[in-house]
Amino acid sequence: MILTLTILLAVIIAIAWAAFNAAYLVLAERRGAGVIQRRPGPNINGPFGLLQPPLDGIKLMAKQLIIPAGADRFMYISAPVLVMCPAIMSFVALPYSDWLQAQNIDVGLLMVFAFASMGTMGTIFAGWSSHNKYSLMAAMRSVSQAVAYEIPMILTALTITLMAGTTNLNAIVAQQSENFFHWNIFPLFGETHNILMPFSFLIFFICSMAETNRAPFDLGEAEGELVAGFHIEYGSMGFGLFFMGEYANIVIGATLATIFFLGGWSCPFGLFPGVWWFLIKLYAIIFTIIWIRWTFPRTTIYGLLNLSWKILIPASLVNLLLTAGLMKVF
């Protein structure tokens, strides 16, 4: 009974954390866009516009969910759920501090990647079932992009696993916890003496942005060609779920980057280790992602696939091989 309640509580907290982040990252994004474009952004509702996300949510919920004629009802309805659910499931395995984690799973890394790739299925469900050429085309693009970028991302994660010797996310952070220079991103001082780690970080960062369909890789949502993307036929909270799923995936990507490369909740100077350090690093990465979105124009689909197949995959393979070699030598 108590176990059930604990699990229920953990699930509720995970959903609340994902939803809260999704809602307020939209605001952060709009404010960030405003700052970079030298305008205020949404600042009317509440102090600094902080009431904007709940009001947007109420507006979305008040709208009617229209299912287009010719749509596959079951797939159409299940697609937003399929995008949002895996994203929330991934939060179960993510550690935010040494005690703040829903489940300390030994194959945590594997589980996060497994659920992260399930989100693509929701995308293709949405595109296929909407009975709309634009959404189908957008879904195809999203899938080809996900396939292309999943490989270098997992290869980089494999490099980390190789060095850490574990797929337990908690243990990966614990190995980097001593001080600043033991973070995985710093090559020469850490446990592993792997000079390729900054490149790994770059590859991982680019891939996590592409995986979440973020600009400059948001080909699935290219308004100029595809009107809106795979969620074109969705209104109301169906659209809201896609939106929240996207932002939840950004949080997951940034969380993984923090865990793998930036030492998780460990403090750079050995002071007050705790969840706040994790949040500082997490939001610094998310801010960088927002900053990148409002800096670069969208790439073309060929540029996107070329970047993956011609540069990132060979680079991550070489990275993996050299890491294995370095591990053997030292």
Partner 1 sequence: MINYFREIFSGLWSLFVGMKVTFIEAFSPKVTVHYPYETLKMCDAYRGHIELIENEEGEPNCVCCMSCVRACPSGCISLTGEKPEGGKKKVLTSYHLDFTRCSLCSACVEACNFNAIEHSKEYNLASRNKEDFHFDLLARLRERNQ
- Nearest residue (CB) to partner 1, 295 versus 300: 295
In eight-state DSSP terms, residue 308 is I
Binding residue count for partner 1, defined by CB under 8 A: 12
Instruction: Convert residues 21-60 into a mask of x (bound to partner 1 by CB under 8 A) and - (unbound).
Output: --------------xxxxxx--------------------
- Nearest residue (CB) to partner 1, 92 versus 219: 219
How many residues make up the chain in this entry? 330
CB of 27 vs partner 1, minimal distance in Å:
17
In the structure encoding, which two tokens stand for residue 250, read together? Answer: 């950004």
Which of the stretches 11-19, 110-118, 267-275, 289-297 binds partner 1 when contact is defined by CB under 8 A? 289-297
- What does the alpha-carbon distance between residue 182 and residue 191 come to, in Å, rounded to a whole number? 6
- What does the alpha-carbon distance between residue 282 and residue 264 come to, in Å, rounded to a whole number? 9
CB contact at 8 A, 117 and 158? no
Instruction: Convert residues 297-326 into a mask of x (bound to partner 1 by CB under 8 A) and - (unbound).
Output: --------------x---------------
CB of 210 vs partner 1, minimal distance in Å:
14
- Nearest residue (CB) to partner 1, 276 versus 296: 296
CB of 295 vs partner 1, minimal distance in Å:
4
- The answer to whether the bond into 216 is cis (omega within 30° of 0) is yes
Given 99, 296, 309, 325, the residue binding partner 1 (CB under 8 A): 296
HSE, CB side, 13 Å, CA atoms: give it for residue 58.
Answer: 4
- What does the alpha-carbon distance between residue 76 and residue 73 come to, in Å, rounded to a whole number? 5
> Which residues, in sequence order, are CB contacts of 307 under 8 Å at separation 6+?
206, 299
Binding site for partner 1 (CB under 8 A): 35-40, 291-292, 294-296, 311
